Amino acid sequence: MFEIGKKGTPEAGSRPESSQARMDPSPPRSSSAPSSREAAVIGPSIHIDGDVRGEEDLLIEGEVGGTVQLKNNSLTIGPNGKVRADVYAHSIYVDGFVEGDLFGAERVHIRKSAQVKGNVTSPRVSVEDGAKFKGAIEMDPQAAQSAGNRAPQRSAAPQQAPTKPAQPSPTPQQPAVAKTGAAS
């Protein structure tokens, strides 16, 4: 009976416990490496030009140009990722290439394989030895927060732009009517 319980427990119990044990250590790892936690992924063959917004963590392995807004979530730019955008996120981890300003509400971590050309604004900033960085660093919690509040205004501007082209379209009709009236 002791051996049966011993055999049954390790076989049956070890599989669920090992998968649970793997799940339990993931949250501590996610705080130091958010890419281990489940996140949306922009793969290496994907190219995006425009605004990227979301309410979940994101891993970029492809190319993104424009703006990236993940105000309450973390962004990881993988070793193959290329971002030419201003980035607004809760936490930002850079392994790849970034050309643009980084605004982290909590932290920005530039790893040794990273290349960053732009300014960093966050209360907590770390740059690993070996990383390539060209820009300024501002470690002010209020500045990072106010920068996050400016982010939505940039996305609102393109919505107003389509209304301007609609106004010039009546103008060509008016000269056409004037020509018709002049010809009569």
Q: Which of 128, 149, 126 is nearest to 139 (CA)?
A: 126
Query: Which residue ranges make up each domain of the chain?
Result: 34-157
Task: Indicate yes or no: pTM above 0.75.
Answer: no
pLDDT in tens, 128-179: 999 999 999 999 877 767 776 666 444 444 444 444 444 554 444 444 444 4
Question: Would you state the structure tokens that stand for residue 42, as one six-digit string?
Answer: 């922009």
Question: Would you state the structure tokens that stand for residue 23, as one six-digit string?
Answer: 């799940």
Rounded average pLDDT over 103-127: 97
Rounded average pLDDT over 34-51: 85
